[in-house]
Amino acid sequence: MILFVIAMLLVAAVVLGKYLIISEIRRLEGVIRGKQQKLLDTSGRVKVAQQKLMVAQKTEGLAAHKVATLKYRLTHLEEQMVQVELIEIKAELERQQEVAFVLDKVIRKALGQAGVEDEDHVRKVMGVITSLIDLEKHGNSDELIAAIREKLIQLKETPAQEAPPSQTPSPGPQAQPSVPQEAAPLTLI
């Protein structure tokens, strides 16, 4: 009988040990499931973070590309602007040279000679006309009319008397008849 009691105690100890082992296994399985759930949650957050990072990198790449494109366009537009300014400057210089050439031809024709001997007189006339053109650009019509009359009187008297322009008397604006600007240098010289 002692053997029977010992056997029963052993069976009870085995059953109790089995029960304790099963409960410990279940507890550990719960812990493992909790950790697996945390791991899944963490891996999900990592995937979301990776996707956000990829989107941010793509956006940054697109923004960098857009900035580079805009810099290129800005540089190109600046170059075009410089070229346009140079073309405008060249056109203005050509126009001024053409005006000077035409003025020279008109003055020589008005003086009645193809090759004028008195270059100084031609230069004076061209200087007067150039200053008149400058006055016209500024829009001072009263000053323009007075300056035209004064310069024409000086030019008319200078070749005949050989007097410097500062010593020639200039009559007032009422003494001269009203003459259009274009006709004034040609008719009074």
- Are the CB atoms for 101 and 109 separated by under 8 Å? no
- pLDDT tens track for 139-157: 666 766 776 777 777 777 7
What number is the average pLDDT over the span 53-67? 92
pLDDT band at 63 (very low <50, low <70, confident <90, very high): very high
How far is 87 from 73, CA to CA, in rounded Å?
21
pLDDT band at 171 (very low <50, low <70, confident <90, very high): very low
pTM of the model: 0.40
pLDDT band at 125 (very low <50, low <70, confident <90, very high): confident
Q: Which residues contact 189 (CB under 8 A, 6 or more apart)?
A: 110, 111, 125, 152, 155, 156
- pLDDT tens track for 92-120: 999 988 888 887 777 777 776 645 566 77
Residue 54 has pLDDT above 90, yes or no: yes
pLDDT band at 25 (very low <50, low <70, confident <90, very high): very high
Burial class of 146 by CB neighbour count within 10 A (0 to 12, 13 to 18, 19+):
middle
* % of the chain with per-residue pLDDT over 90: 46
